[in-house]
Chain A
Amino acid sequence: MTLTEKAENIVAEFSLFGDWMDKYAYLIELGEESDPLPEDLKTKQNLISGCQSQLWLVAEYRDGKVFFRTDSDAIITKGIARVLTKVLDESTPSEIIECDLAFLDQIGLREHLSPTRANGLNSMVKQMKLYALVFKTKYENAG
């Protein structure tokens, strides 16, 4: 699946919810079922400081694709991080770098990624793109 297809899937999933309460209930569910990061990966280096909630991001590059893992001490933050990884995970570095996140507007979560929010999600997206850029430079431009 391409990144665009994954984004379309998420938009379709969220379109099922009539009101915001159901949407948040789903985000909480996503947060709860998202695998926690092992404690040894919850390092200062992987921490994205969001002031009120803590958010961790780990990225790996395998076979031309980027793999992300996230965790947070706040469940809604963790759920939204899960939405983002559902779309960005297992994509190529170029896809991630070019991704415009318009799907967030469609599912009504864009406000949570405002730089003035105290949850760190905005910095997390920046960090994801930065990882993609680093992997691209390191592994793809060499040859």
Chain B
Amino acid sequence: MSLSIEYIRSLFPILHQTVHGKPLIYLDNGATNQKPKQVIDRIVQYYSAENANVHRGVHYLSAISTEAMENTRKNVQQFLNAAFDEEIIFTKGTTESINLLAHSFGKAFIGKGDEVIVSGLEHHANFVPWQQLCQEKGAILKVIPIQPDGDLDLEAFEEMISSKTKIVNVNQVSNAIGTVNPIEKIIEISHKHGVAVHIDGAQAVSHFAIDVQKMDCDFYTFSGHKMYGPMGIGIFYGKKEYLEKMPPYQTGGEMIEYVSVDEVTFNQLPYKFEAGTPNVGGILGLDEAIRFIQNIGIERIGEHENMLMNDTLKQLETIDLVKIIGKPKQRAGAISIVLNGIHHYDVATILDQLGIAVRSGHHCAQPVMRYFGVDGTIRVSFAIYNTQEEIDTFVHALKRVIGMFR
């Protein structure tokens, strides 16, 4: 039997508070979702009883910290169904993972006149590092166009990919409008041309099961804090055959095998990409977040969120002034709307007074906003602990906001 939403909610200490005198309704899960007690406790436990630097000391605490960290690597490997645990690199988040990739892949494989493809639906984190890399290398950045429904134009993609293309970067789920991209198809097309593919999974990992071997992506990146884990920890996954050919991103302690004044040999995978003291507390928090997701079951999480999302869509469609941005074939996690004639800042300000947290603005995806001809939207995004009652309260509040601005 599956756990009740009411019980799951009770596991999140932060949800039981009032904001401006109203019960908190947290619908900004795409920005970061809340943490169950077991994740918080795990971090407290680490600093209370286990803290020591890893991979260095021979003493007891160092040994148990190191073991806990390496166990997490194995759990993440299993979570993604990666082939080897050394393909799992700890970073501080998706942004750092992508910067690592752009830097190291760029150094190894990208030269003048080469081409890099990104999708038009990307978060700035999966856009700007590639733009900067291309400027530095004299390479060319190409963008897969968006279609009016919010899906990517795959025909245009097939036309732009060529023997000059070195890597394709697409998010699995768009943070700005919730599109689920056809990554299997994109990977298949890219591999036909022998081109590597990176999938930004930041908005995907908390909604559905990930299998990097089945998907056959070459790189996969995500953040712990968008999947019930702590901030400051993220994952960079890469196929071993690529990682072995890529130079380190940062240099320093941990990642060195031998160093003298004249020469250095770098440590093996995964340590080659993990310079400096890692965020062990964060890593163990992530471990616990994975356990939380697995205990509930990711399918159950996705089903519940989809139920809420579809109901929200249905209710929003009945409100005159509401315009839903995009109508993608498949959607996950989020809905972006504008209220005709009412600024998103005003909407979010009043909703906040009613205890409702939503995201307003451009969602770090200005090219997406520009495509849809808006300077920002209101985004509602869902998690396992949200309830039907919260959705009804939100829709009711939105109608109240509209009434105030009429």
Say yes or no: A53 contacts B353, CB within 8 Å: no
Kindly state whether residue B20 has any CB partner on chain A within 8 Å: yes
Q: Which residue of A lies closest to B406 (CB)?
A: A28
Instruction: Choose among B343, B344, B346, B404 the residue with the greatest number of A CB atoms under 10 Å from its CB.
Output: B346
Which residues of the partner chain B approach A25 to less than 8 Å between Cβ atoms?
404
Q: Please judge, given known A-B contacts A74-B343, A76-B346, A119-B345, whether A20 and B20 are in contact too, CB under 8 Å.
A: yes
| Number of chain A residues close to chain B: CB under 8 A | 15
Q: Please judge, given known A-B contacts A74-B345, A77-B345, A118-B345, whether A20 and B353 are in contact too, CB under 8 Å.
A: yes
Mask of A105-143 contacts with B, CB within 8 angstroms, 1/0: 000000000000011000000000000000000000000
Q: Which residue of B lies closest to A79 (CB)?
A: B346
Contact residues of B between 1 and 39, Cβ < 8 Å to A: 20
- Chain B: residues with CB nearer than 8 A to chain A? 20, 342-346, 349-350, 353, 360-361, 375-376, 404-405
- Chain A: residues with CB nearer than 8 A to chain B? 20-21, 24-25, 28, 51-53, 73-77, 118-119
**Bound Cα distance from A20 to B344, whole angstroms:** 19
Which residues of the partner chain A approach B361 to less than 8 Å between Cβ atoms?
51-52, 118
Say yes or no: A73 contacts B343, CB within 8 Å: yes
Report the minimal beta-carbon distance from A24 to chain B, rounded to whole angstroms.
6
**Bound Cα distance from A24 to B350, whole angstroms:** 8
Instruction: Choose among B342, B345, B361, B405 the residue with the greatest number of A CB atoms under 10 Å from its CB.
Output: B345
Instruction: Choose among A21, A24, A74, A77 the residue with the greatest number of B CB atoms under 10 Å from its CB.
Output: A74
Which residues of the partner chain B approach A119 to less than 8 Å between Cβ atoms?
345
Say yes or no: A52 contacts B376, CB within 8 Å: yes
Say yes or no: A75 contacts B20, CB within 8 Å: no
Which residues of the partner chain A approach B345 to less than 8 Å between Cβ atoms?
52-53, 74, 76-77, 118-119
Closest 8 CB pairs of A and B: A74-B343, A74-B345, A53-B345, A52-B345, A76-B346, A52-B361, A74-B346, A76-B349
Say yes or no: A75 contacts B405, CB within 8 Å: yes
Report the minimal beta-carbon distance from B393 to chain A, rounded to whole angstroms.
16
Which residues of the partner chain A approach B343 to less than 8 Å between Cβ atoms?
53, 73-75, 77
Report the minimal beta-carbon distance from B373 to chain A, rounded to whole angstroms.
15
Which residues of the partner chain B approach A24 to less than 8 Å between Cβ atoms?
349-350, 353, 404
Which residues of the partner chain B approach A53 to less than 8 Å between Cβ atoms?
343, 345
Say yes or no: A75 contacts B346, CB within 8 Å: yes
**Bound Cα distance from A77 to B343, whole angstroms:** 10
**Bound Cα distance from A77 to B344, whole angstroms:** 11
Provide 20 A-B residue pairs closer than 8 Å at the C-beta atoms, listed in order of the A residue. A20-B353, A24-B349, A24-B353, A24-B404, A25-B404, A28-B404, A52-B344, A52-B376, A53-B345, A73-B343, A74-B343, A74-B345, A74-B346, A75-B342, A75-B343, A75-B346, A76-B345, A76-B346, A77-B346, A118-B361
